Amino acid sequence: MKILGASLFGAGVIFVGGIMFWGAFNTAMEATNTLGFCINCHEMKDNVYQEYTKTIHYTNRSGVRAACSDCHVPKDWVHKFVRKIQASGEVFHWLMGTVNTPEKFDAKRYQLAKRVWATMKSTDSRECRNCHAFDQMNPNLQKQRAKKQHENAQAEGGTCIDCHKGIAHKPVHHLLEQEEEQKAAEEAKKKAEADAKKAASATAAAPAAAPASAPAAAPATGGAQLPPVTGKAVDWSKAAETKTVLFYPGQTAIEWVLTGTDHGGTRAFKKGDRCFECHSNETADMGAKMVSGSKAEKTPIPGKRAAIPLSIKAAYDADNLYMRFEFPAGPHNEVPFVKGGKMDPDNEVKVAMMIDGGKVDMAARSGCWTSCHADARDMPQAPAAPGAVPGIDTSHGYVTKYVPESRTQFDTTARNNWDKVKPQAELDALLAGGTFLDLTRWKSSGASEQGYILADRVLKPGNDVAYTGKKEGDKWVVTMIRRLKATQPGEVTLVPGQSYSVGFAVHDDFTNGRFHHVSVDLKLGLDAEGEIKAVKM
């Protein structure tokens, strides 16, 4: 008897031989998937393995370890076989000594990482999904920011590697960010040059036009003012209360927010998510990290509060906005790097509010954060002795807040944009057009101030705003009356039925500068949508 031309005995030998060959081949394949095999060369053992052992994929609370092959080798046989063929190129480079020293490995690390990221992107993070899957997640057990980003990823067709680069090895994805920013800057420059060339051509070709009438000028700062604002008595028991938590931000400037290696939510923020959406429930925890010096703070103040709970109530009438702030008073803690231990001995407390009229690009997502920069005073890139720069006041010896639109350059890598101020004519146009943050502030010494942030912070005694406040037992209570209608440049006109992005800051315990507590972005709605609801009286 024959089977396919072979005798029964021969067919049996072929069958058994095939099983043995397949078993041996598959065993060899699996042997090359072990952690021991992956690190039997010092290129892997001395470099990426050492980094991997310090991550959650190596040691974690559940005792489940993801070995090299779990992340870098497909599970299914076909893709696994293809990957093994591709690995022959790695054997060649091992023989050539391409990465046989830490220096050589680091020199090629970014190139190697990009190759892996591209592969994972092309396979929809197939190997990640062996352990992690959207449909197996319980969003209710995730942190607010993780839940939000996983929901975004599912809605937008995102994949794991879009956000989770650098989780098992030395991070180099900041180089990818720099590469993308440089490319975007080059494209923007080319577009600007093309637009300028097109405009010049159009101007040359157009017939001479009659002189246009000058636009109506905005009221000049320091010009005629209305009498000091006055308002009605408010029954605050009938106003809706919003509770939020201000937190200590350390040195987390807007450039920090926009850098992925500093801030894990950079990608989501750039795509349009608000800070509030990811962080509103964890501000106290974030403040604890900063105030302790464990993250983004080089000069911690012993005993300083990590967070301050803030109660906000709001109302309005035909002329004015009314707001009430309440927060617990705190103990005094000596500032070790300030003579006398108090940065501002005359003011135990200061309360500030910023309002965006809709023209400052990032304010709707970050609130007042868009005005906080890495080159301001007491920040990492602060100039030691800023010289005179047209458009800003540096006579006090430091740089204050500004919005990015006021600069000719906004480099989030070098983070030294303080002196790249636009010409005064352009700043005047921005101010007239509403590209600024409206700023008011109360000092416990009794002063009410108003102003704005554009090229720097401008504050003067308030006439369109009036604060009152005092310590009542173990809490501070501060109230504000503010005209709805702007009467000076740098003020936002508030319109019933609309919402505005706002931010709040409290300087407690005689502090100054960045050593305050701040809110994430919030929305104030005058009978409109917002976290803070002002109802007409």
Tens-place pLDDT, residues 420-474: 999 999 999 999 999 999 999 999 999 999 999 999 999 999 899 999 999 999 9
- Tell me phi and psi for residue 332, to 5 degrees: -90, 135
Number of helices (H) and strands (E) in the chain: give both, helices first: 16, 15
225: which 2 tokens? 């003012």
Collapsed DSSP state (helix, strand, coil) of residue 243: strand
- Tell me phi and psi for residue 483, to 5 degrees: -65, 140
Confidence grade of residue 69 (pLDDT, cut at 50, 70, 90):
confident
Confidence grade of residue 404 (pLDDT, cut at 50, 70, 90):
very high
Confidence grade of residue 98 (pLDDT, cut at 50, 70, 90):
confident
- Tell me phi and psi for residue 115, to 5 degrees: -65, -45
**The predicted structure's pLDDT at residue 222:** 46
pLDDT beyond 90 at 519? yes
**The predicted structure's pLDDT at residue 220:** 44
**The predicted structure's pLDDT at residue 444:** 98
Predicted TM-score (pTM) above 0.85: no
Percent of the chain with pLDDT over 70: 91
Q: Which of 155-159, 484-488, 532-536 has the lowest mean pLDDT?
A: 155-159
Looking at the chain, how many residues does it have?
A: 537
- Tell me phi and psi for residue 223, to 5 degrees: -80, -160
pLDDT beyond 70 at 380? yes
pLDDT beyond 90 at 277? yes
**The predicted structure's pLDDT at residue 11:** 62
Separation between Cα atoms, residue 96 and residue 36, nearest integer Å: 22
pLDDT beyond 60 at 475? yes
**The predicted structure's pLDDT at residue 5:** 59
Confidence grade of residue 334 (pLDDT, cut at 50, 70, 90):
very high
Collapsed DSSP state (helix, strand, coil) of residue 184: helix
Q: What is the mean pLDDT of residues 59-64?
A: 88
Give me the helices (H) in 32-101, please.
Answer: 35-38, 42-43, 49-52, 68-72, 77-96
Q: What is the mean pLDDT of residues 498-509?
A: 98
